[in-house]
Structure 1
């Protein structure tokens, strides 16, 4: 049965939150607030938080900056995963992935379907690994951020979760990568 093994000590991670939006500011970023509150309540560290426009190069540059940082283990974004012309978050994320985590999207859609029905088809939530870091792109609504964190990420980013979790293999993500 999956669950938290309370005999293990919790390992806090350094998580950066990226909001992708042409209309939100830090003051009006309710989805970023949802993620930040949940990250801190779980016992993780908020490594950084910023808002960038729906621009593939701006998103990519921010991702590359955090990927290169020793102070960031995980990036979670909100926004820009839809189907409009300005929604380019998945393209930016996929441009830096070493590996995509296809199961994240599948599980996110299953959870979302239970709440919003076939409307979940309009989301392109994605996740992957880049240079030893996990990257997760969630839709821009507070509800989608709650679902992504409460139903998936809070467990997979907790080293006590059984039978397995992302934290356990974090140190091994770069195995086989050539230096330079």
Structure 2
């Protein structure tokens, strides 16, 4: 059960990446759902893309977004399973400065209630890279709904207590802006 205080909501700038060899803008239901949820919550969509399940294409796109101060959060959907083409964790892990271990653990716990032991095949993960928070979710719309509704939405809401990531993201943005003004970025 969420705990809230009277803190003010702080809209964040979020980019959404769908990893798929088959999805297009016309049938990307998981990406559509994440965009709808983040905008309904009051956040801003900065960018959206679909890339093939290729380590280097994913890493290039996410690297571009984490290097740009316009993006504070990246939501990645797809490529977290165990098929020979699933490579999102391998693409994203090297970019992370810190991993949020609890995200994958909690996601699998919540998913167990919905899909049973099949949840062990989810390699959902999250972490911080260059002051940008990255969440990697499975490609199914149901999994994205679980991740957003039961974890991510609260962690991107300054009113959620006892803690959330908004303060961390705001401080990271301030640090990056200060470095940029000083010529270090």
Could you say which TM-score interval applies, normalised by the shorter chain?
A: over 0.9
Structure 2 partner of 1:123: 122
Point out where structure 1 has 5 or more consecutive residues left out of the alignment: none
Structure 2 partner of 1:3: 3
Deviation digits for residues 83-121 of structure 1, max 9, x if unmatched? Answer: 011000011110100111100000000100011100101
- Structure 1 Cα separation of the partners of residues 94 and 168 of structure 2: 22
1:170 Cα offset (Å): 1.7
- Structure 2 Cα separation of the partners of residues 2 and 23 of structure 1: 37
Structure 1 partner of 2:156: 157
Q: Does 1:57 align with 2:56?
A: yes
Structure 2 partner of 1:28: 27
Structure 1 partner of 2:131: 132
Point out where structure 2 has 5 or more consecutive residues left out of the alignment: none
- Contact between 1:2 and 1:163, CA under 8 Å: does it hold in 2? no
- Contact between 1:78 and 1:138, CA under 8 Å: does it hold in 2? yes
| Other structure's SS at 2:134 match | strand
TM-score (norm 1): 0.94
RMSD: 1.6
- Structure 2 Cα separation of the partners of residues 4 and 88 of structure 1: 36
- Structure 1 Cα separation of the partners of residues 172 and 45 of structure 2: 21
- Structure 1 Cα separation of the partners of residues 33 and 63 of structure 2: 24
- Structure 2 Cα separation of the partners of residues 102 and 71 of structure 1: 25
Say how many residue pairs are matched. Answer: 177
